[in-house]
Structure 1
């Protein structure tokens, strides 16, 4: 996959997908790094060594699936991939502009035909069919309004949203902003921007709340507070392009207005999920209406965050933690109603807000598994449960179903001897399972999943947000001479070295209400990252400062000391 995801439009790179459509195994990362760093004259020798070490059978015909995002450099890099793969006898299937999760799906289906048809059309057919079946009993319940605003981050997600909405047939209305027509990719918009700055992406003009409801289906698709209308920030990326196809399939079940769809703006510039998450504000190019549900994709449509503005036009972010808790609660309800017993867990990192962890364990009564930072750790841990839900705070995540869980759910959905309500719940579980892209975080599929849950619960966006209140938090970066002096354990929540640092952190944490803090070394630069949360923003800021100061003093800080 040729993409630089949520990074600026001028950047580009690749993501490698394994034969089952998942992320490349860690041991192959070492080999890929060795190959990437090989001098031109020794390239053949390095390849031969890798082939010998891994036992690759060169007599088998190799096939490479290739796709790319909307960056101007992507086609040229895709041609380089084609030339390189062809030079060693591989067949290259170039699928053109896709979201990253779409290519993951196609690779999975190519090697696992039971998963679906290995085409973009097959991708949309599978997820929209599931979404439509779930909505068959009416497209609005209680407070859920099937209307959503999408901050497309001026990336590919805004593009693909159009395709998605075409498939949904009006079940969900999504207005897309930051769809790539004007803004730059991930600039002042997108999931990371919204999460980081806790505010809506730029480009959403002011209007009355009633303007949102004019987009709701004429046949009355809202019961309670759910409205099938959504605004999409496509990050000026591929997601906005694919949304057109999706909407054609949905047949009006969901109305999505796409902004930052790539027709004007730059990829990920002032838009997209990373922008929205990072800057905690709306992306550029998306209207700011009170109460209207908005969603941001990142540039290659594998991350998603929601946001809205309250009656005072105060920005509210619903990040990966909020999505994980919403989805976990829905799955638990369906499992209980279907009387299906499997082990369900939510996987988080230390960056997950403490309130989300408390809600999952105390209210939902589900176990939480904490793992080190990185989506590979989350995915691997989720695979150990029958149903594993994981979302990073940045909006990258999915739900995994074990073979056992899939078999049990399918059996219950087909069993006629149970009570009708049990079978109905099992069938909803089956459709929900089909709606989810289990290979990787997928902004389009995750958006449909969230809309499905909001519709089922009859929730408006503020009701979803009110399930729990995030603890205020603060993050800092401390420059150090050597980041390797910091080592951690317990999923990065406890500092091992320097030996006197963790006791100092414990004393500081114990002095504030609802305090929590941890430090971890950056994986790429001589920086130590500090996370702190407390009952008030002032306390969180002070705790982060004090912990950062201890890092500076005890772990070889350089440059300026942290300031309050």
Structure 2
């Protein structure tokens, strides 16, 4: 690093002193905090993104968003070259940068890290960053801080992509690094053409009646509602009505959005008895989560929730059907049995896991967090992951997509329009419609709608795939959450000794009982999850396990 680069870093960082007393940590969602204290952090993540670009010699993304958080919050996260999240190896350095107390310390950290990672500043490669933000009022000023951070690395290039959903930014980064065009128009074009392809391949006898084509969507008063308004103008075959698009003056994520709907299981603002029986969906604030619901008759606020577990199940049923068609023809040399895997966390409802296993699917578990789910799903030819909160996607391996393309070409020359070729075309269309970089509420919504049309299912038929087991979540305040150590995808307590045995004894008292505990990633609480055959039983089980946590760790409290 030459003197010019050192001087530029010292001078620019002096304009963004860290807020006194604040200590931030880079997690699954990047850095998040009250927007008023984020200027310094966002500036420094701009530097981090430029360094990441130099290291990988790829385009990197920066997204300014706080997803389902309240409107006064904001945050920033990095999209790696594949469109996924920042490599976990770089998270500790991100924390060090964000919390460096002064410009000289910051510079020393950068020099030391660049040396360790063999990052060159010789100008042979210029850092390139795609920058996006959601609709939060604080986004504009934070965007400027990010630009200044990026520009403090000599030669770095910033592309301001404007107001985007988080998944759009991730998609654009992935596309750019694959040598493809990556504008918003390209994103919409790929989604809509893939949706139309699947719709055109629906057997006539499965097409459901016209009234079912109507979908009401809660846009969370965020960027997703705004983008969905643009999509619906280009869409045919589906009538979408967007409520809470942000134009009506509603507040982002307040009484609206996928996080609110999934946790509270009540109708979002703007929905009511006039929507009884109609298929409804809800996006979160930055449109990376999606849940569905219907409003039952004679209910003023309660909903029938169709969460991420059931979205996963719908996708799995459809993909398994297409694979069964393809694998039914094992003649010739160009045949391949795809490995399909479903990835869940321990928070997935046990009824969903039982249903998926009953279908004959391979189901595996990871610790909580998209970074774990995504990595595990990528180990399959086709890997599907979803959390109950509505965040998830489908991953196709490059090897399998290459085989699928070749198989489609082979079939088109010998049996064009056959059932086999149609199955291949459907899978190829799914791989283009779904956002393989990250969970995407817009692409997920279009895929759900196409599959429901294909299956000939109403939301009520879909919801009846299985009956969720009653569940309960609690949290117990503790002095030190690190006292709890877990294993087996967070389902078994390793430390403190004997705590797991005590939990097992409680579980054994209840029909279909299941419970686990895990330390929070951000606060000194232990989270308790429980399931059982009735709500009364699950409430008792959850409270008993919470009491055990308090007994073993001491100094706690819980509801």
Aligned to 1:315: 303
Match of 2:243 in 1: 259
Distance apart, 1:141 and its partner CA: 6.0
Residue aligned with 2:79, SS: coil
Q: Is the 8 A contact 1:512 1:534 kept in 2?
A: yes
Equivalents in 2 of 1:94, 1:295: separation in Å? 30
User: Judging changes above 3 Å, is the alpha-carbon distance between structure 1 residues 470 and 144 closer, same or farther for their aligned structure 2 residues?
Assistant: farther
Summarize deviations over 1:254-287 as a string: whole Å, max 9, x none: 1111111112111111111111112111111234
The alignment partner of 2:242 has SS state of strand
Q: Does 1:128 align with 2:192?
A: yes
Aligned equivalent of 1:57:
120
Query: In structure 2, which of residues 314, 327, 338 is the aligned counterpart of residue 342 of structure 1?
Result: 338
The structural deviation recorded for 1:290 is: 1.7
Instruction: Give the TM-score of the pair, scaled to structure 2.
Output: 0.83
Is it true that 1:231 corresponds to 2:212 in the alignment? no
Q: 1:39 aligns with which of 80, 91, 101?
A: 101
Q: Displacement, 1:471?
A: 0.3
How many pairs does the alignment contain?
478
Q: CA deviation at 1:139?
A: 9.5
Moved more, 339-348 or 317-326: 339-348
C-alpha displacement at 1:460, in angstroms? 0.4
CA distance in structure 2 between the partners assigned to 1:455 and 1:557 by the alignment: 54
Distance (whole Å) between structure 1 residues aligned to residue 262 and residue 193 of structure 2: 31
Cα 1:516–1:141, aligned 2, differ >3 Å: closer, same or farther?
Answer: farther
CA apart distance, 1:124: 0.5
- Counterpart Cα distance in 1 of 2:437 and 2:356: 24
**For residues 282 and 203 of structure 2, what CA distance do their matches in structure 1 show?**
22
Tell me whether 1:18 sits opposite 2:80 in the alignment.
yes
Q: Could you tell me how far 1:138 is from its partner in structure 2?
A: 5.9
- Report if the CA contact (8 A) 2:202-2:454 is conserved: no
Q: Which residue of 2 aligns with 1:414?
A: 409
CA shift at 1:143, angstroms?
Answer: 7.6
SS at match of 2:405: helix
- The reply on whether 1:358 has 2:354 as its aligned counterpart is yes
Conserved in 1, the CA contact under 8 Å of 2:267 and 2:295? no
Q: CA deviation at 1:526?
A: 1.1
| Distance in 2 (alpha carbons) for counterparts of 1:333 and 1:427 | 13
Indicate the residue corresponding to 1:202 in structure 2: none
Structure 2 unpaired stretches of 5+: 1-62, 328-335
Structure 2 CA distance for aligned equivalents of residues 399 and 137 of structure 1:
20
Q: Where does residue 98 of structure 1 map in the other structure?
A: 164
1:210-268 CA deviation, whole Å, 9 max, x = no partner? xxxxxxxxxxx46xxxx121111111111111112212222x32111111111211111
Question: Are 1:235 and 1:262, in contact at CA under 8 Å, matched by a contact in 2?
Answer: yes
Q: CA deviation at 1:474?
A: 0.4
Residues 65 and 75, structure 2, Cα contact 8 Å, conserved in 1: yes
Answer yes or no: is the 8 Å Cα contact 2:201–2:422 preserved in 1. no
CA RMSD of aligned residues (A): 1.6
Kept in 2, the 8 Å contact 1:139–1:228? The answer is no
Deviations 1:29-55 (A, max 9, x none): 111111111123222222222211212
Give the structure, 1 or 2, with the largest relative contact order (CA under 8 Å, sep 6 or more). 1
Asked if the contact 1:141/1:455 (under 8 Å) is kept, the reply is: no
Which moves more between the two structures, 306-315 or 349-358? 306-315
Report the structure, 1 or 2, having the larger helix content.
2
Contact 1:125 1:249 in 2 (8 A): no
Corresponding position of 1:161: none
Secondary structure of the corresponding residue to residue 131 of structure 1:
helix
Q: Distance in 2 between matches of 1:557 and 1:441?
A: 38
Q: Is the 8 A contact 1:345 1:369 kept in 2?
A: yes
The answer to whether residue 279 in structure 2 is matched with residue 293 in structure 1 is: yes
The equivalent residue for 1:327 is 315
Structure 1, residues 106-127: CA drift from partner, whole Å, max 9, x if none? 11111112xx421100001011
Q: Equivalent residue for 2:550?
A: 552
Counterparts of 2:462 and 2:489 in 1: how far apart (Å)? 29
- The structure-2 alpha-carbon separation of the partners of 1:140 and 1:67, relative to structure 1 and needing over 3 Å to count, comes to farther
Mapped partners of 1:505, 1:141: distance in 2: 51
Structure 1: gaps (5+ residues): 146-220
Q: Report if the CA contact (8 A) 1:515-1:534 is conserved.
A: yes
Distance verdict in 2 for CA 1:139–1:126, change over 3 Å: farther
Deviations 1:138-163 (A, max 9, x none): 69864856xxxxxxxxxxxxxxxxxx
Contact 1:141 1:457 in 2 (8 A): no
Q: State the distance in 2 between where 1:413 and 1:360 align.
A: 28
Q: Is the 2:272–2:295 contact (alpha carbons within 8 Å) kept by the matching residues of 1?
A: no
Report what 1:109 is aligned to: 175
In structure 2, how many angstroms separate the alpha carbons of the residues matched to 1:439 and 1:140? 33
- Report the counterpart of residue 54 of structure 2 in structure 1: none
Aligned to 2:57: none
> Who is 1:78 aligned against?
143
Alpha-carbon shift at residue 418 of structure 1 (Å): 5.2
Does 1:268 pair with 2:253?
Answer: yes
Q: Is the Cα contact below 8 Å between 2:517 and 2:528 reproduced in 1?
A: yes
CA contact (8 A) 1:295 1:307 kept: yes
Q: Distance in 1 between matches of 2:503 and 2:268?
A: 36
1:304 matched to 2:322? The reply is no
